[in-house]
Structure 1
């Protein structure tokens, strides 16, 4: 640095000063300040210049990622590809075949069950119809029996009424004859 103004130091790998002409001069203009600039350049490169460390880390990361991880991922992708091809070539057709077989069996069983249910339903419907017909026949028979009973009751009533009327007439005649006898005896 010079006393007249600020000079930015940009270190280089050779350790040369940024001052003009490539010659190193001290603050008074002499060439004796070369070790200080060299030390400042080294301090700058160690403390502030992180490029070599970062480049090393970048190389390490790239090496780890590309070489190790890439191979691992390629193996994983190969395994996935093989698994997919196996699934497409073998597993999927087997599953499809089993599915169709099982679905056909299930469909057949459902059809049999449906036919059985239809037969049971038809049987129940026939039984209901028979019961309904029996009930209707029984009701018709009861109605006929009731009508016959009512007619019989009317005829019995007519007979009883007729007998009652005859009995009443006989009693009237008997009482009339008794009154005549009584009237004969009382006179």
Structure 2
């Protein structure tokens, strides 16, 4: 009996699968070596911790804690006195501003009164000029009336004289 070679499709698939599996594994190893930086970062972190915690003996931490305490103490001591001083200064400033505002209002009131007085003075001058013009007009009208009256009296006198003459002529008769 002759032996047939076992080149069945199943065996071929199996062999290809094993080769592909090895290729995928190799690619994964290459990728982890090239792109996975975790081991390097972990080593750097350990070095950093060792440098700052172990070798320096927590010096920076203590320094920061001391600075924090100093800032808190300064805030507790300085803040109330600064607030009191600031409050006093603000009240002084408010008083000065109120006084300046009052003075400004007085100056403004005086300017308004001066403007009103100027306006009143101008109106008074205009009224005086109008009154003088009115009196001149009245004087002119009076003179016209006096003239007309004198003419009328003259005419009436002449008529009266004529009538008197006429009457005297009739009475002697």
Relative to the length of structure 2, the TM-score reads 0.50
Structure 1 residue 137 and structure 2 residue 109: aligned? no
Aligned to 1:98: 85
Q: 1:129 to 1:84 in 2, by over 3 A?
A: same
Which of 68, 71, 85 aligns to 2:73? It is 85
Distance across 1 between alignment mates of 2:134 and 2:116? 26
Give runs of aligned pairs for residues 6-17 of structure 1, distance below 5 A: none
Unaligned runs of 5+ in 1: 1-54, 166-187
Q: 1:59 to 1:100 in 2, by over 3 A?
A: closer
Q: 1:135 to 1:62 in 2, by over 3 A?
A: closer
Distance across 2 between alignment mates of 1:128 and 1:144? 24
Q: Which has the larger radius of gyration?
A: 1
Q: 1:62 to 1:124 in 2, by over 3 A?
A: closer
Distance across 2 between alignment mates of 1:99 and 1:70? 40
Shift of 1:103: 0.6
Aligned to 2:137: 150
SS in 2 for 1:146: helix
Distance across 2 between alignment mates of 1:56 and 1:113? 71
Q: 1:62 to 1:131 in 2, by over 3 A?
A: closer
Q: Deviations over 1:27-54 (max 9, x none)?
A: xxxxxxxxxxxxxxxxxxxxxxxxxxxx
Aligned to 2:20: none
Q: How many residues align?
A: 110
Which of 54, 64, 82 aligns to 2:51? It is 64
Relative to the length of structure 1, the TM-score reads 0.47
How large is the RMSD of aligned CA atoms in angstroms? 3.3
Q: 1:160 to 1:77 in 2, by over 3 A?
A: farther
Distance across 1 between alignment mates of 2:43 and 2:132? 119
Unaligned runs of 5+ in 2: 1-41, 152-173
Shift of 1:77: 2.7
